[in-house]
Structure 1
Amino acid sequence: MRIGLITPEPGHPLLAGTAALLAPDHAVEVLDPLAPGDALLSPADVYLLKSKTPHALGLARDLERRGVPVVNSAAATGLCQDRTEMAELALRAGLPFAATRTFDSLSAWAPGASPAGPVVVKSRYSYRGDLVARVDDPAGLEKLAADWPREPVVVQAFAPNSGWDHKLWAIGDQVFSALRRSELSPGGRGPTRPLAVDELPAGWADLVRRTGAVFSLDVYGVDVIDTGDGTPLIVDINAFPGIRGQAGAPQALAALALRRAAGRTRFTR
C-alpha cells in the first residue's frame, strides 16, 4: 500500500510513529501542501490530512474528487475550524455542547455589552495562536476588545468546573484520554496528566464516538469539562489533533490508514 501524509511536519510524533510502523511493508509518502508535485498524477491509496491550511484543504478536495480517501475529509476538517458551524451542528444533533453566540468582531460587540457572569471568548475561526480568554467584567472585555478589535468571535457562558479539561481523542473507534490544566484557570495552562479511558465517567467514551459520527471524523479530539457529578459539557472539537504521548495511538492510526487504503483498492482497482 501507498500511504500519503499531507503535512509540512512529518516529524510530528504521532505521524513519525505511524510511519515507522508502516514503513517495513508499505510506502509512506510525505506530501507538503505548499509543494504537492505530481501527487494528483499518481496519488497514494490513502492520505492522512494533518494540516488545516487553505492549501492543504484544497489539495485534499482535489484528491477526493479523484476518488482517493482522505482522513479526515476536507469538509469535516473545515467544519471543525468554524466554531459557529461546529456549535450549530453539535446542538442540532443533541450533543451536550456549550451554548454559543457569534459576533462579527469584538469591537462591534464589546461597546455596551455587559455579560451576566463570566464568559469565554474565542476566535470564531480556529487557528494556531487564536483567541481563547475568560472575561469576568466590562473592564476585562474592554481590554480584550482593544487587543483584538477586528477578531470575529464566539462567546460561551463560563461553566464552573474543576479547572481541568478532559482531553479525549479518538482514532476510529479507539478512544484515548488525559487531563490537562485549562488555559482559563488562574495559573494558565499546565501539565497533562494521564487518565485511563476506564476512569472516565460512564458514557463519556460513547459520547466521543457519537461526536465523531455526527461530524464525520475518523481522527479527532473532543474537549470536555465536568460541570459536576460527571455531567459532560463539550467545549471544542478538533480534527486530527496531536494525540501526543498516548500509548497505542500510532498503532491505531496505522491500522486505520491500511483499512481505508484497502477499501479503495478493493472497490476501485
Structure 2
Amino acid sequence: MRICLITPRPDHPLLAGMTALLGSRHRIESIDPTMDGQLAAYEGESAVPLADVYLLKARTPQALALARSLEGRGATVVNSAAATELCQDRTAMAALAHRAGLPFAKTTTIATLRQLDSSPGLVHPLVVKSRRSRRDDLVTRVDTPAHLRALHATWGDEPVVVQPFTENSGWDRKLWVIGGHVFAALRRSELADAGERGPTLPLALGDLPDGWIELARAVGSVFALDVYGVDIIDAGGAALIVDINAFPGVRGQSGAPRALAALALRKARSGVAKGACREACR
C-alpha cells in the first residue's frame, strides 16, 4: 500500500510510530503543505499519481486546499477536509453537536471580543474562546468586566465564542479515538494558568464514568471523523463536551500508533477497492 502523510512534521511521534510499524512492507510518503507548489503538483494532467490513502495531520489553509483537491480526484483522505475544517469553527462545531443531541457547552458567537462589552445579560465568570480554533488562539476564563476590558489590547478585534463557566475539578478528560479505539488521559484545563498545567496524566478507560466511551465514539459518527480528540469535563456527575479536535497528537498513548496503522491500512484497502470500481465503471 502507498500511504501519504499531509504534514510538515512526519517525525511527529504518532506518525513516526505508525511509519515504523508499516514502513518495511508499505510505502510511506509525506507532503509538506507549507512548501510552494505542492497544490499545483497534485492537479492537472501531469499530477502526481494518487496514493491509496492520505492522512491529513495539518489544518492550515494550504493543507485543506490540498486535501480538497485530492478528494476531488477521488482520493481517500483521513480526516476529510470538510470534517477537519468544521472542527476549526467553534460556532459550527457547537451547532452540529447541539443538533445531534450531544452534551456540548452552550455557545454564543460574538463578532468581536470588543463587542462583548455591550452584550446584555453577561454573567461572570464566563469562558471566551477564539471562534477559529488554531495554535495560540484565545481560550480564557473571564471573571470580571475589568478582566474583559484588559483583553481588548491584544484580542479586541478577534471573533469569539462565549460559554458559561461550569464549575468542575479543573481537570479535562482527554479522550482520543483512532478508528474506534479509545485512549484517555487527564490534563489540567486550558483555563488554568500556564504554569499550573503540568504533565498529562494517564487515565485507564475503566476509570471513566459510564457512557463516556460511547459518547466519544458518537462524536466521530456525528462529525464524520476517524482520528479525533474530545475534551470532556465532569459537570456535577454529567459529561460536558468543551472541545473537539481533528487528528490530535495522541502523545504518550501506548497502542495509538498501532491503531493508526490499522486504520490507514483499512482505509487504503477501501481506497483501492473504490478506485477499481471507478475503473470498471468507465
- TM-score category, normalised to shorter length: over 0.9
Distance 1:259 1:51 in 2: 21
Using the alignment, how far apart are the partners of 1:82 and 1:123 within structure 2? 9
Distance 1:165 1:159 in 2: 12
**8 Å CA contact 1:107, 1:146 repeated in 2:** no
Structure 1 CA distance for aligned equivalents of residues 90 and 127 of structure 2: 13
Equivalent position of 1:243 in the other structure: 250
SS of 1:110's equivalent in the other structure is helix
1:116 Cα deviation (Å)? 1.3
Correspondence list, 1:11-90, <5 A: 11-35=11-35, 36=38, 38-39=41-42, 40-90=47-97
Counterpart Cα distance in 2 of 1:197 and 1:133: 29
Which residue matches 1:260? 267
Match of 1:123 among 106, 123, 130: 130
- The C-alpha deviation readout for 1:239-258, integer Å capped at 9, x for no partner, is 00000000000000010000
Written as runs of structure 1 = structure 2, the 5 A alignment for 1:76-225 is: 76-111=83-118, 115-185=122-192, 188-225=196-233
Gaps (5+ residues) in structure 1? none
Which of 212, 217, 226 is matched with 2:234 structurally? 226
Cα offset, 1:113, TM superposition: 5.8
Deviation per residue, 1:163-192 (Å, 9 max, x gap): 100000000110000000113136642221
**Cα deviation, residue 266, structure 1:** 1.8
Residue 251 of structure 1 aligns with an amino acid whose one-letter code is: R
Unaligned 5+ runs, structure 2: 277-282
Letter in 2 for 1:7: T
How many residues matched?
Answer: 268
The letter for the 1-side match of 2:79 is N
Match of 1:4 in 2: 4
Distance, in Å, in 2 between the alignment partners of 1:134 and 1:145 is 14
- The residue type equivalent to 1:3 in the other structure is I
Query: Residue type matched to 2:90 in 1?
Result: R
CA–CA separation in structure 1 for the residues paired with 2:86 and 2:191: 24
- SS of 1:44's equivalent in the other structure is coil
Tell me the SS of whatever aligns to 1:76: helix
Distance 1:211 1:112, change over 3 A: closer
CA distance in structure 2 between the partners assigned to 1:159 and 1:100 by the alignment = 12
Q: Identity rate of aligned residues, in percent?
A: 62
Secondary structure of residue in 2 paired with 1:78: helix
- Deviation readout 1:111-144 (Å, 9 max, x if unpaired): 4666213100000001100000000111111111
TM-aligned CA deviation for residue 38 of structure 1: 3.7
Q: Tell me the distance in 1 between the aligned counterparts of 2:57 and 2:119.
A: 41
Structure 1 outlier segments of 4+, above 6 Å: none
Q: What CA distance in whole angstroms lies between the structure 2 residues aligned with 1:169 and 1:108?
A: 35
Conservation of the 8 A alpha-carbon contact between 1:182 and 1:190: no
Distance in structure 2 (CA, Å) of the matches to 1:112 and 1:41: 52
**In structure 2, what is the Cα distance between the partners aligned to 1:244 and 1:112?**
40
Following the alignment from structure 1 to structure 2, what is the Cα–Cα distance between the partners of residues 2 and 117?
Answer: 53
